[in-house]
Structure formats: C-alpha cells, structure tokens
Amino acid sequence: MSNSTHAEDRGPEDRASEDMLSKLLDSPSPGPRLSEIGRVAEIADGIAIVSGLEHALSEELLRFASGVQGIVLDLEPGRLGVVLLGPSAGVSIGESVMRTRNVVSTKVGAALLGRVVDALGNPCDEQGAITVEEVRPVEAEAPKILDRQAITRPLATGFKVVDAAVPVGLGQRQLIIGDRQTGKTSLAVDAILNQKSSDVICIYCAIGQRGDAVAKAIGAITEGGMMKRTIIVAAGDEDAAALAYVAPYAALTMAEYFADQSRDVLVILDDLTHHARSYRELALLLRRPPGREAFPGDIFYIHARLLERAGQFTEAAGGGSITVLPVVETQAENLSGYIPTNLISITDGQIYLSPRLVRKNQFPAVDLGKSVSRVGGKAQSKAFRSVAGNLRVTLSQFEELEDFARFGTRLDEATRKRLTRGAAVRTSLRQAERDPMTAIEQLAVLVSAMEGHFDGLSEAETMRVMAALRSRVARELGDIAERIGGNDALSDQDRNRMLKLGSAARKNLEGHDGANS
C-alpha cells in the first residue's frame, strides 16, 4: 500500500531523473585517459630539458607549472629539448610539465588588422583583447605545384628604380639585402605605404629588432594611413629567442588566412638574419651539432619551408597571393656569406642596397648591377617594360665610363655627353624617404631623364625640376595614367607629352634662376 502511494506521489521531474540515471548506469563507462607529467631536469637561457614525457611529439606545445609554455624541438630517449616561449627565470628545476596535445598556434583573422601582436597573436599595443574566430598552427605545408599559377600582376613599390628595373610581382619572393644602415627597412616600409591606393593587406614582422626601431616603423605606417590594413608582428630583441624563431611562421599563417579569401597580402620579414641567429642560439643551447659558422645543419630548411608558402594561388586554392619581401643583412658587402647565399638561392631575386651608393648620398641605394628580378619582369606593365631596358644599359655604361674617367684620361665629346647623361639619369633615380610615386610620375621622370632634360643640372636643380614635373603630371596626364593602369603601352604621343612637360619644367627652373640673378 505504501509503495503504491509513494509511486503515485512522484512527479514528472522525478521520473525523468530516474530515467536519466538508468541510462547512465546502463551505458558503458568511459575509458581511462592517460595523462603524463614530466619534470624539468635542466634549465638554461631560453630552453629547458624535460624528462618523463615519453609520448610527447615534435613541435608539441607543453605547459609548465609556472605558466610558461614551450615547444618540443628535440626528441631524445629519456629527455626532451624544449624552447621556452616566455622568460626562463620563472622556470625552476623539478617543476612539473604537462602535455597540451596541441602544436604552437597563432590567432588569425580581420580582428588583427591595425594591431601590434606577438608571435602567438596576443596584443602588445594596450588596445584591449583580440577576439578571433580561428586559431591556426604556425607550421603549415607549402601549397602544391598544381595549386599555384604564374605571377602576372605587378606589386607597385613606389620607387622608380625598383618598379622600372627590379620589378616585383604579386606572389613573388624578392630579397632585400645590404649592409647595416643602407635603408633596407625604409624600403620595405615605403613599399607598405605605397599600397594605400590598392587593396593589398600588409603584415610587417619585426624579428629581433630594437624597440625604438619597431616603434619608428609603426609610426611611419600609422602616419602614412596604412595601419588599418596592416598587422605588426613584433618579436623584439628583449623577447624570448623562441618567439623570434616562431614569428615569421606566424606572419605567414596570418597571411594565408587572407589569401584563402582571395586577398593579396604583402609580408615583410625584417629580418631573417636575426631569425637565423635566434635559431642558432636555441640549437647551441640544446647541444645540437654545430655546422658552418656554428649554425645547425637544418638552417637552410627553416627558411626554405617558410618562404615556399608564398606564391600566386589558383582559384581552387583560394585565389589570393602572398608576396614576401624578406630582409637580410650582409657584412662588409659580402654577398657570399652563409645566410645571404642560402636566401638568394631560395628567393626569386634580390634588391641589393650598396653602402657605396649610400656614401654618394644616393637613396634608395639600389645597385642595379647586383640586383635582379627573376619573375617580376613577366608581371611588369608594358609601359615600364619599354623604359626599363634602356635604363639598365645607360646606367651600366655610365658606371664603366665613370671608373675609366677617374684615371684622368682625356675624353672625347661623345664620351663626355654619355657621362653627363648617365649622371643625370642616376640622380633622377633619387627619391626621398616616405615619398612613394605613382606610375605616371615615375614614367614621366624617367622618360625626361633618358631624353636629356636633366643633363648638366646639379643635384639640387634636378630634384627641383622633378618636383615641378610631378606636380604638372598629376594635373595634366590623368588620361595616360588610366591607360597605364589598364596595362597599355606608352605610345609615341604619350612620350611626347611627357617630354613636353619635362622641357617646360626645366625652362621654368632656368627662367626662375635667371630672374633671381
């Protein structure tokens, strides 16, 4: 009697709870999950030796009890070589270490645009947290051959000497190489600023740079109005060496997100010399066998697998492009150094900045004799292609004659004219920092210089004539600019109109000087 009474008193909620309990009791119990706990056996500046994690994988992310994370770089029986993504001062011997079963990953997405982040996508600019919908591994397989297509579209840098003589195409890997203080970073930052009139996404990756150098680059990008379409990935010299090692891979991962959406991306890696040194530091601390210049044996591979991720991709692979401008530093103009030769062999050409031209106050200090673009010429517009060949020939002949004339040899009139023309053309290639030029302005200046409108002028006079010519071109040659944008060739009439403006600019200078005298 009492049992039936209690059964009648139970409500629907009680019966539902009983049903759920019965299902749980009848279901098979979950299997046990093995969780390994390791211990820190050794600690050094930036690395740790961990024991006890027998099933850890290469490139796996580990978490230390102190909160620091690390990447498994060496797998040896009974020990793991782990590079730390944070300060090693907080890690102690005997500290417990847990596996995360994840590889090192970074945040990707449009939320990163306009922000300064570290290699893991965490904010460094005190503008609040960054919320993204996707996190991707920093290591990724390079696109296959069938997922790539020919590079046919130009990437305008805004520099006359580059766009005309050493062109860069969308999807190309063009090395910027030179000694210290030759303007490598300035050239790269100005290439970002020149994308203001395009829809190219830019990523500037600072590797091992001083804080003030990174701040200067950020300031220039902000003042140039490109910060909203730029991501700054900063791994400064005060950060862990592992972050400097991971940073360029993270930058390419962020670029791949946009390329998958059919966007064009420009990535600046400044610079891979510091990247190689950071990797050498980690390798030596992990007691890997040193090779040439104490670099580990896989130093070529770390840059090859990085730069192979660039390219122009097919529609099936996203349809976008990733253009990479890696920067590398030489010492005493030695292009045969270990890291420079590695990168020259990986990339599709190089822009060499010469300290000899810097001493002559020639900026940008691009040495056309040692600079080459193995791909960009196919993407160069027809208008520039008609000017580039004569430009290289004129400058190379001028430099040979200039060296010959230093011996005090008596020169005939024709040789003196060629020297005068060459000097004028070289001066016309000068360009102020943070002053990118449009295609029509570049062509008008180059055509006028090649035809002798700058002959016999001093450097200051040439710069004044070029400034006057640029202002008139912007007002009067808008129709030619549109045709150039449509990849039309320069007609004879177009050249004559440019030459007419160049002649008028010089006459105005001479008339102004005559009036002043």
pLDDT digits (tens, 9 = 90+) for 92-140: 999 999 999 999 999 999 999 999 999 999 999 989 999 998 999 999 9
Residues of the chain within CATH 3.40.50.300 domain(s) are: 107-380
Task: Work out the percent of the chain whose per-residue pLDDT is above 90.
Answer: 79
pLDDT value of residue 1? 45
366/382 Cα distance (integer angstroms): 22
Domain with CATH 2.40.30.20 in the chain: 37-103
d(CA 39, CA 490): 70
**Cβ atoms 233, 301 nearer than 8 A:** no
Peptide bond into 271 cis (omega under 30): yes
- State the amino acid at position 233 in one-letter form: V
Provide the sign of the torsion angle of the four alpha carbons 276, 168, 206, 112, taken in this order: negative
Specify the CATH number for 107-380; select among 3.20.190.10, 3.40.50.300, 3.40.190.150, 3.40.630.10.
Answer: 3.40.50.300
Please provide the average confidence, as pLDDT, over all residues in the chain: 91
9: confidence class by pLDDT, cuts 50, 70, 90:
low
Hey, how many other C-beta atoms are within 10 angstroms of the C-beta on 170? Answer: 23
**pLDDT for position 388:** 83
Judged against a pLDDT cut of 70, whether residue 32 lies above it is answered with no
Amino acid 33: pLDDT: 65
Q: Give the CATH architecture of domain 37-103.
A: Beta Barrel (2.40)
Tokens of 64: 């230390």
**Numbers of helices and strands, H then E, in the chain:** 17, 19
Q: What is the DSSP letter of 313?
A: B
User: Which residues are part of a known binding site for ATP?
Assistant: 178-185
Residues of the chain with CATH 1.20.150.20: 384-516
Position 361, amino acid: N
Residue 517 pLDDT greater than 60, yes or no = no
**Distance, C-alpha 87 to centroid of its chain:** 27
Question: How is residue 145 annotated by DSSP?
Answer: G
Amino acid (1-letter code) at residue 148: R
Check if CATH label 1.20.150.20 holds for domain 384-516.
Answer: yes
Q: In the numeric block, which tokens belong to residue 426?
A: 């070289």
**Percentage with pLDDT > 70 across the chain:** 93
The pLDDT value given to residue 214: 95
pLDDT score recorded for residue 22: 76
Contacts for 301 with CB less than 8 Å, ≥ 6 apart: none
pLDDT mean over 33-37: 76
- Give the model confidence (pLDDT) of 351-384 as tens digits: 999 999 999 899 999 999 999 999 988 999 999 9
Neighbours of 252 (CB within 10 A): 27
- At 137 the three-state DSSP class reads strand
User: Annotated binding residues, as ranges?
Assistant: 178-185
Helices (H), 183-311: 184-193, 211-223, 241-259, 272-285, 299-307
Phi-psi region of 394 (alpha: psi -120 to 50; beta: other; left: phi over 0): alpha
pLDDT above 80 (res 259)? yes
Triad 181, 205, 299: Cα angle to 5°? 85
Digit-coded pLDDT (tens) for 406-423: 776 677 888 889 899 999
pLDDT tens-digit profile of 296-355?
999 999 999 999 999 999 999 999 999 999 999 999 999 999 999 999 999 999 999 999
Residues serving a catalytic function are: 374
Going by their DSSP bridges, the two strands 321-329 and 175-178 should be labelled as parallel
Question: Please, which contacts does 386-393 make with residues 24 or more away whose CB atoms are closer than 8 Å?
Answer: 386/489, 386/490, 387/164, 387/443, 387/446, 387/447, 387/450, 387/490, 388/164, 388/165, 388/167, 390/450, 391/164, 391/165, 391/425, 391/446, 391/450, 392/165, 392/368
Those residues with Cβ within 8 angstroms of residue 118's Cβ, 6 or more apart along the chain or in another chain: 124, 233, 234, 235, 239, 243, 247
Find the mean pLDDT for residues 163-167.
94
Q: What is the mean pLDDT of residues 373-397?
A: 89
